[in-house]
């Protein structure tokens, strides 16, 4: 089931555990300004380290999605109004489209996508390998794999490095290592090595006609390995001749398949 994280309106709870909806940040609301901007302001408050969630839980939304609901302690939220040096009135009255003055207090953490891409680059540099990352639209998570080398990392090594990384570690449970497509990707890369795979092409007397030419090239280098004319038992149509340029005269004198040397 895909999980979508959201930043809802802060919710506090009292000592008795009763959930209490709050207006951020326990000061007069921004009716005259831009209410939709408050979620972004709240991210700055969290990034500044002024408050942290006390509890989170997953809530189902429809049949295939969940959202993360974040709960804050009521006392912690109310204490924000006494934060020294913070001009809440300026934050509350900022015009639509203008940046929040709270931005200067916090350096926002990188997004999950940026964190994943940064980890992949570090992993590639650290182990001298190629790393692939894919964001799955089905699970909502990320999937990682890498080219296998003799001295390259194992799945256990990458999992340990992932958990220990101070940036990406918090997303570790949202990242799948060594998915099925990784094995397919590695096999496809092997087939692109010189001499590992070939591409075969034929020309015919008509769209569904007899074969009159057979060619084989190396899939990696494009080197022609074979180029053979074949004598058909039916004439070549004009439409086919316009496509491949082979005429009846080219194959008329062949008593058996004639071989052209590679170009």
What are the distances in angstroms from CA 20 to CA 25, 42, 83, 91?
A: 13, 17, 21, 23
* Domains: count for the chain: 3
Residues 256 and 224 in one domain: yes
Residues 31 and 87 in one domain: yes
Residues 44 and 134 in one domain: no
Which among 191, 213, 236 is the end of a domain? Answer: 191
The sign of the dihedral angle between the CA atoms of 233, 236, 237, 239 is positive
Q: Which domain holds residue 10?
A: 2-105
Q: Measured between alpha carbons, how far is 68 from 74 in angstroms, rounded to an integer?
A: 19
CATH number at residue 204: 3.30.420.10
Pairing label, strands 142-146, 175-177: parallel
Q: What is the pLDDT along the chain (263 residues), one digit of tens a residue?
A: 333 333 333 443 333 343 444 444 444 343 333 434 456 677 788 777 788 778 887 888 887 787 777 788 888 888 888 888 888 888 877 777 777 888 877 765 678 898 999 999 999 999 999 999 999 988 889 999 999 988 899 999 999 999 998 888 888 989 999 999 999 999 999 999 999 999 999 999 999 999 999 999 999 999 999 999 999 989 999 999 999 999 999 998 887 655 554 54
Q: Measured between alpha carbons, how far is 212 from 236 in angstroms, rounded to an integer?
A: 9
Contact 214, 224 (CB under 8 A): no
Residues 170 and 210 in one domain: no
H or E element at residue 70: strand 65-73
Measured in whole angstroms, the distance separating CA 4 from the mean position of its chain's CA atoms is: 15
Residues 100 and 7 in one domain: yes
């Amino acid at each position: 089931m895909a999980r979508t994280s959201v930043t809802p309106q802060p919710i506090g709870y009292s000592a008795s555990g009763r959930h209490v909806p709050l207006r951020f940040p326990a000061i007069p609301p921004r009716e005259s300004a831009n209410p939709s901007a408050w979620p972004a302001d709240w991210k700055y408050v969290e990034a500044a380290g002024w408050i942290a969630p006390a509890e989170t839980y997953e809530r189902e939304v429809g049949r295939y999605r969940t959202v993360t609901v974040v709960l804050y302690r009521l006392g912690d939220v109310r204490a924000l109004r006494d934060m020294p040096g913070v001009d809440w009135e300026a934050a509350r009255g900022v015009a639509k489209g203008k940046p929040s003055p709270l931005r200067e207090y916090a350096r926002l953490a990188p997004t999950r996508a940026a964190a994943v891409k940064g980890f992949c680059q570090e992993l590639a540099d650290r182990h001298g390998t190629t790393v692939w990352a894919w964001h799955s639209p089905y699970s909502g998570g990320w999937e990682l794999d890498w080219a296998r080398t003799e001295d390259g990392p194992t799945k256990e090594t990458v999992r340990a490095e992932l958990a220990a990384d101070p940036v990406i570690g918090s997303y570790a449970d949202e990242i799948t290592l060594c998915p099925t497509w990784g094995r397919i990707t590695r096999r496809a890369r092997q087939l692109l090595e010189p001499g590992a795979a070939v591409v075969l092409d034929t020309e015919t007397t008509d769209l569904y006609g007899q074969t009159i030419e057979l060619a084989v090239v190396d899939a990696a280098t494009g080197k022609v390995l074979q180029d053979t004319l074949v004598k058909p038992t039916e004439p070549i149509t004009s439409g086919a001749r316009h496509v491949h340029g082979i005429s009846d005269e080219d194959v008329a004198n062949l008593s058996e398949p004639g071989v052209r040397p590679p170009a």
